[in-house]
Chains A and B, each alone.
Chain A
Amino acid sequence: GAGVSQSPRYKVAKRGQDVALRCDPISGHVSLFWYQQALGQGPEFLTYFQNEAQLDKSGLPSDRFFAERPEGSVSTLKIQRTQQEDSAVYLCASGSSNSNQPQHFGDGTRLSIL
């Protein structure tokens, strides 16, 4: 596809369940980023990949959050033992070079934890 694709668009889970969010970046983009956006707030950085290497995971809020990009293209953000405060929109972005350059965003996954 032409843009960044995220799936699912909406996810409802019960507290304690594990969830997996998928991001398909723009073909050829080496950089991939995950953000968490709470209602009425700006995106907050979670983690950053350059190809398959996770260069920065300083924004992951706890060890329940895990991201991978094993082949340097598609990425998955996994949240284990979900809690209500994990409810947010999770945005994925990709870029053609480093983290300082413009990023192309997907439409996000809206996660609701009941």
Chain B
Amino acid sequence: SQQGEEDPQALSIQEGENATMNCSYKTSINNLQWYRQNSGRGLVHLILIRSNEREKHSGRLRVTLDTSKKSSSLLITASRAADTASYFCATASSTLTFGKGTMLLVSP
């Protein structure tokens, strides 16, 4: 069964806007990872945040982690049409457990 729950399930924005996706989980974790998946393709790792970290940046990506609330957020700034994809959070304990994902559509 899937542990993470992403919110929203779908998000539609214009190019240049920011996109925020949230993830909630239930059990203790070693780290939390975000992946993206283009239609018909495999998942691509974006960023990993350890359980003792609160915020991490990578390019236009910003991830936060609140272990007390068992939640994480992914912010994509200045979105581009090429950011259109599904985004998944994955919690790492003994294995990776993925959520159901957020479908992001960025319109030109």
Is B94 within 8 A of A99, CB to CB?
Answer: yes
Chain A residues within an 8 Å CB radius of B96? 33, 45, 99-100, 103
The answer, yes or no, to whether A25 is at the interface (CB within 8 Å) is: no
Q: Which residues of A contact B81 (CB under 8 A)?
A: none
What secondary structure prevails in chain A residues at the interface with B?
Answer: loop
Chain B residues lying within 8 Å of A100, measured Cβ to Cβ, are 30-31, 92-93, 96
Question: In the complex, which residues of chain A have a beta carbon less than 8 angstroms from the beta carbon of B43?
Answer: 43, 91, 93, 103, 105
B31, B33, B42: which contacts A4 (Cβ < 8 A)? B42
The distance from the CB of B42 to the nearest CB of chain A, in whole angstroms, is 3
Bin the interface of chain B by size: 20 to 34
Within 8 A of B (CB), among A44-100: 44-45, 48, 56, 59, 91, 93, 99-100
How near does chain A come to B13, taking the closest CB pair, in angstroms?
20
Q: Which of B14-22, B58-66, B69-77, B98-106 is found at the contact surface with chain A?
A: B98-106
A104 at the interface (CB under 8 A from B): yes
Query: Can you list 20 A-B pairs, Cβ within 8 angstroms, ordered by A?
Result: A4-B42, A33-B96, A40-B100, A42-B98, A42-B101, A43-B43, A44-B1, A44-B98, A45-B96, A91-B43, A99-B94, A100-B93, A102-B33, A102-B45, A103-B45, A105-B35, A105-B42, A105-B43, A107-B40, A107-B41
